[in-house]
Amino acid sequence: MIYLDYAATTPVDERVLAKMMPYFRENYGNPSSIHRLGQKAEAAVDEAREKVASVLGCRADEIVFTSGGSEADNLALRGAMLANKESTKWILTAKTEHPAVSKTAIQLEKEYGFLLEWLDVDEHGAVTVDSLAKAVCNNTTMASVMYANNEIGTINPIANLAEVAKANNIFFHTDAVQAAAYLDVNVNKLGVDLMSLGGHKFYGPKGVGALYVRKGTKLVPHLTGGSQEFSLRAGTHNVPYIVGFAEALRLAVDEREARTAHVKPMRDHIIGTVLETISDSKLTGHPEQRLPNHASFVFKDVDGNLLLQLLDAAGFACSSGSACKTGNPEPSEVITALGYSRDWALGSLRITLGADTTPEHVDSFLKTLPSLIKKTRNLNHR
């Protein structure tokens, strides 16, 4: 099987796994325990927090460990909105966001009575400075804009957007889950108040993430109980996963240039070849301001789900934006937000590369894809 779905998840790096292993059986103490096994575990969590803070350029007490990016997004949005409910009302975000943000925003409107405004995106799915500046009003609490889009790879101008937020005295959150593998996540350069990360997108374990919370940003805890994570997230620390997350993030930063240099030429080759050799194909997302490992397309009159099944049968793991809902394929919110009609929007394909991808894998994929597109079109026209 040739794996071309690194935006969905990545295998755990062996070096990360080696760091995690002792905390499953040897140093298995609860960090909240007083005895030395507990102290050893606590020291591991503290060290991991320092490691993450040094990557982000922030204080260790500004890092909250979570069960992943989705939980970090939930804590950021719900936590900030509920903490400020007396003074302000509006939340601003885009329909191109990950559902962990967009569905949380919808719930805040529906169940808690907050006001939600969707930010306009340009033809590449980017939120512009103008669209944010236009949407902000005196009663706005926060804006949430992702750093890089998981589905179409577009990178948003986060530092510029955060400046607009700061000038208007509102909180700015970015979901950097997809971005952290390849982009600079220094919070001072970005100017964000809140930032979500997830370990399994950069060769760390699944089920662990972090939320950066700038000092002075008030949040209502969303998991109550013990005083772990500065009383923002109760629950016994998942020590091996936290250790693995921190090590994976450190490696992602240390090796960023080499990893980018590995994937970018292959990504460019895929984009160029697909657009040249397959009729009625379009690149989705920004042609330049996109993740270095990310290629995504729409194909006219193609059933994206069927294409994925055919690719899977041919030995390739890729993904599509359209989710199959009760037998009726629906185009994704992201592709629809770009303005594609249904005959285009249903035929989305995402190819994402990673550490184990080789030029041979890419060539094999590019040889196989055109005939499978043709096959789905023929089946579509029956």
Residues annotated catalytic, as ranges: 324
Give Cα 168 to chain centroid, integer Å. 26
Rounded distance between C-alpha atoms, residue 163 and residue 255, angstroms: 29
146 to each of 98, 172, 329, 378, how far by Cα in Å?
8, 10, 26, 37
199 to each of 49, 176, 190, 251, 262, how far by Cα in Å?
14, 11, 20, 12, 21
- Dihedral of the CA atoms 148, 153, 156, 159 (nearest 10)? 50
Rounded distance between C-alpha atoms, residue 266 and residue 292, angstroms: 9
Structure tokens at 166: 């700061």
Handedness of CA 120, 123, 126, 128 (dihedral sign): negative
Q: Residue holding tokens 């690149």?
A: 283
Rounded distance between C-alpha atoms, residue 72 and residue 153, angstroms: 21
Q: What is the DSSP letter of 200?
A: G
Give Cα 229 to chain centroid, integer Å. 22
Q: What is the DSSP letter of 236?
A: -
